[in-house]
């Protein structure tokens, strides 16, 4: 199926996509995959633009709201579904192929074999979302297999997901290269997210404080703060907005391992948070460099 007026090809079944990509690979193309859950915004488009820079690559964007990565009390039913607008955006961006399967196409045997993502999946996001990363990694492993992709692009918005995916690709020797893409933000600093659609105007204004608090932490690090002081600076900023319900604020190394009590050289680190604004749970993170410290 090809959507109106464009060269965007839409596949809905795994077998159709595999047949297409087998042919593309036989023709010497490489395959660049951008997995999404739809409700596309300019953050997703950043991934597309990065994928399109690869030489000789056919870009495939998957749109699939993966039930396996949602907990029983999460927003699976209300998650925004905007397929026709999504396809228009992809066509306008010059994407070659969209893959939009149904849950039954993806899980014809139910949730039988799944990925065990290892210990990091129980921390940070995993502490409040048990099973989330098992679900996210399982669907990505399936998408890698179905698409036979050589490359896949993921946003640093979901930094922990990217670290876990890198671990999976390394641990399972999957023949694919993963590319991280920086977070796309509104001018206010708010990270673009499909879930921002849930926010009222008032909540939207409040949500900008999440990135502002991370910037306060980064500024503290630039001034030579220790990891604890960076977290304190972030928390102190958010404490001015008691309507924001903070889930966690943590600083880890770039691989999301805990930082020790001292360091005798600069350390690349990641400052991460999750918080509820109204009923909407939002995440954000920033990279930073820490000066040597000793507690």
* C-beta neighbour count of 137 within 10 angstroms: 25
d(CA 29, CA 113): 30
Stretch that binds ligand AMP, among 95-103, 121-129, 176-184, 200-208 (CB under 6 A): 176-184
44, 132, 151, 204: which one is catalytic? 44
Query: Residue 237 has which token pair?
Result: 């900023």
- 184 interacts with ligand AMP by CB under 6 A: yes
Total of chain residues touching ligand AMP, rule CB under 6 A? 17
d(CA 8, CA 60): 10
Tell me, what DSSP letter sits at residue 219?
A: H
d(CA 38, CA 87): 9
| Residue 44 annotated as catalytic | yes
- 192 interacts with ligand AMP by CB under 6 A: yes
Among 191, 221, 244, 251, binds ligand AMP (CB under 6 A): 191
Among 147, 194, 196, 213, binds ligand AMP (CB under 6 A): 194
At closest approach, how far in Å is the CB of 38 from ligand AMP? 6
C-beta nearest to ligand AMP: residue: 155
3-class secondary-structure state, position 197: helix
d(CA 156, CA 285): 8
- 270 interacts with ligand AMP by CB under 6 A: no
CA distances to 71, 154, 157, 181, 243 from 272, rounded to whole Å, are 21, 17, 10, 16, 19
Of residues 136 and 259, the one with the C-beta less far from ligand AMP = 136
d(CA 166, CA 256): 12
Residues 6+ positions from 190 with CB-CB distance below 8 Å: 196, 204, 207, 208, 210, 211
- 155 interacts with ligand AMP by CB under 6 A: yes
Burial of 179 (0-12, 13-18, 19+ CB in 10 A): middle
Of residues 142 and 157, the one with the C-beta less far from ligand AMP = 157
Beta strands in 85-129 (DSSP E): 97-99
Site string for ligand AMP, 115-154 (x = CB under 6 A): ---------------------------------------x
Stretch that binds ligand AMP, among 97-105, 110-118, 142-150, 180-188 (CB under 6 A): 180-188
At closest approach, how far in Å is the CB of 116 from ligand AMP? 21
Catalytic residue annotation: 44
Question: What residues line the site for ligand AMP (CB under 6 A)?
Answer: 36-37, 43-44, 46-47, 154-155, 157-158, 181, 183-184, 191-194
């Amino acid at each position: 199926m090809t959507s109106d007026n464009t060269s965007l090809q839409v596949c809905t079944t795994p077998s159709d996509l595999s047949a297409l990509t087998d042919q593309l690979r036989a023709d010497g193309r490489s395959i660049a995959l951008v997995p999404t859950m739809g409700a596309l915004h300019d953050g997703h488009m950043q991934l597309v633009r990065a994928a399109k820079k690869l030489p000789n690559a056919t870009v495939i964007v998957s749109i699939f709201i993966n039930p396996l990565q949602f907990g029983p009390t999460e927003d699976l039913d209300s998650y925004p579904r905007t397929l026709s607008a999504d396809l228009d955006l992809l066509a306008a961006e010059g994407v070659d192929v969209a893959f939009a399967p149904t849950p039954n196409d993806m899980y014809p045997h139910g949730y039988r074999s799944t990925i065990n993502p290892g210990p990091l999946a129980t921390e940070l996001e995993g502490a409040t979302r048990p099973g989330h990363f098992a679900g996210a990694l399982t669907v990505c492993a399936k998408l890698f297999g179905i698409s036979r992709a050589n490359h896949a692009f993921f946003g640093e918005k979901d930094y922990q997901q990217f670290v876990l995916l890198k671990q999976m690709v390394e641990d399972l020797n999957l023949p694919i290269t993963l590319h991280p893409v920086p977070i796309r933000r509104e001018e206010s600093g708010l990270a673009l997210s499909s879930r921002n659609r849930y926010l009222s105007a008032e909540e939207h204004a409040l949500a900008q404080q999440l990135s502002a608090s991370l910037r306060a932490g980064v500024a503290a690090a630039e001034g030579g703060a220790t990891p604890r002081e960076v977290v304190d600076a972030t928390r102190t900023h958010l404490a001015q907005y008691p309507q924001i319900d903070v889930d966690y604020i943590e600083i880890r190394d770039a691989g999301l391992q805990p930082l020790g009590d001292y360091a005798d050289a600069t350390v690349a680190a990641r400052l991460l948070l999750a918080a509820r604004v109204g009923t909407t749970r939002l995440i954000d993170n920033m990279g930073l460099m820490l000066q040597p410290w000793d507690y």
